[in-house]
Amino acid sequence: MKRVIRLTGMLLLVGIIAVSCTSKKPEKTIESLKSAIIGETNANARYQAFSLKAAEEGYPNIAKMFLAATEAEAIHVKNHNAVLVKLGEEVFNPIAETPEVSTTEDNLQSAIDGETYEFTEIYPGFIPISIEEKVDGAVTTYTRAKYAEVNHAKLYAQTLEILREKGNDKEIASIWFVCPNCGNLFNDIEGLNHCPICGDNPETFLEF
């Protein structure tokens, strides 16, 4: 009889631990990760479409820049998903919205606006939630994505300025690089020792 009572008690304890673990799930962070993945997935699809449009309009260097940016956004999706999986969730792969495509000049402005929204509104809104819920992995992936988007917007703005001034993309870099760890984008890595966002070695960078 004593053994039965002891066993029942143990099972009850295991049950309580399981319930308390479940109730401690950082639900707000999980929700924000899924929302961030939707945003990054849409950005990925937009840049694919913008790359094709730039090539069609005779801007091969801008096409390459957008192609590299496509990969950068895919890296953000992958990094956010890695945190979701660590939290016990399934990998989240939403279907992207059909992108609105205009002229390359307008697409660049739209890309700048999209990135600016991400680094001024989305990630600064998500980071405090994950700090509060103590999900360090989410804080890291959001912070890295935020700084990568700042740099994306800066490079798109430079590109747009050159395109407007010259009417072509000949002065825009013909080779672009992406840090595979954080999605940072570069048009020049000469003399660079490490990725300024994540510290990765430039030898690992993807080339476009």
Q: Should residue 195 be labelled a site residue for Fe ion when binding is judged by CB under 5 A?
A: yes
Residues belonging to the chain: 208
**Residues between 67 and 86 that touch Fe ion (CB under 5 A):** 73, 76
- Tell me whether residue 73 or residue 133 sits nearer to Fe ion (CB atom): 73
Measured from the CB of residue 145, what is the shortest distance to Fe ion in angstroms? 5
CB of 32 to Fe ion, least distance (A): 14
- Between 165 and 194, how does the x/- string for binding to Fe ion read (CB under 5 A)? --------------x-xx-x----------
Give the shortest CB-43-to-Fe ion separation in angstroms.
6
C-beta of 137: minimal distance to Fe ion in Å? 16
Closer Cβ to Fe ion, 62 or 150, answer by number = 150
Give Cα 108 to chain centroid, integer Å.
18
105 touches Fe ion by CB under 5 A? no
Residues 206 and 71 sit within 8 Å (Cβ to Cβ): yes
Give the x-and-dash track for 27-46 against Fe ion (CB under 5 A).
-------------x------
Question: Contact residues for Fe ion (CB under 5 A)?
Answer: 40, 73, 76, 179, 181-182, 184, 195, 197-198, 200
